[in-house]
Amino acid sequence: MATDTDIGSVKSQLQQLATPGAGLLTADYVNPNMADKLRETGIQYFDVTGIAYLNQPPIYIHIKANKPELRVGTRTKAGEAFQPAGMKIVYAFLQDREVINVLYREIAELIQVALGALGEVFRDLLEQGILVEEINGARRIADYVQLLDKWVDAYPPKLGNKRRLGICTTDYPDWWQGIRPEEFEAVWGREVAAVEYTG
């Protein structure tokens, strides 16, 4: 981080390069603390993120990046609908759209999730506009495709690697050659399919 000495050095160099007060420091990023120090020293600056201080009367520009203050009641957590427990609930909604209109307790028992988690998921989906509550109290999925897309996007990082059952090995490398997968309503994966296809 730059020190007061560094800032003094920058100011001196800018004054040598330009008319006093007309120099401009450009940077990839100027953090809020540094922005204050530069402005107090009279060094004009801008960075690639849009943070800027320019004082050339009649033009005055001061753009500083501050973290937004959290309002009381603001949720800081990511939406519950696309966390592991929430995804289980959303999956049930995707399978049967009518499940959303069953009593919370019945849904929780059906899906085997905590009642509190269910309330959080409903609240999250309502806030996102994916779920809509009608005047008569009935709920419906407003955008099924959006819900499905979000669930599919969240699956690999949230649940995908938790679903691996294991790795199997055998002492008989040709075990698969006598099996007809269609008898088990199955298909071969890519390796066996490639061998079958290429001969």
pLDDT tens string 141-180: 998 898 999 888 888 777 766 666 667 788 888 887 888 8
Q: Is the pLDDT of residue 18 over 80?
A: no
How would residue 51 be classed by pLDDT, with cut points 50, 70 and 90?
confident
List of residues 6+ apart from 103 with CB closer than 8 A = none
**In the chain, domain spans:** 4-63, 80-162
Question: Is the CATH code 1.10.10.10 the one for domain 80-162?
Answer: yes
User: In which order are the strands placed within the sheet that holds 44-47?
Assistant: 24-27, 44-47, 52-56, 59-63
Who has greater pLDDT, 2 or 96? 96
The whole-number pLDDT of residue 70 equals: 47
**Tokens 């008898």 belong to which residue?**
183
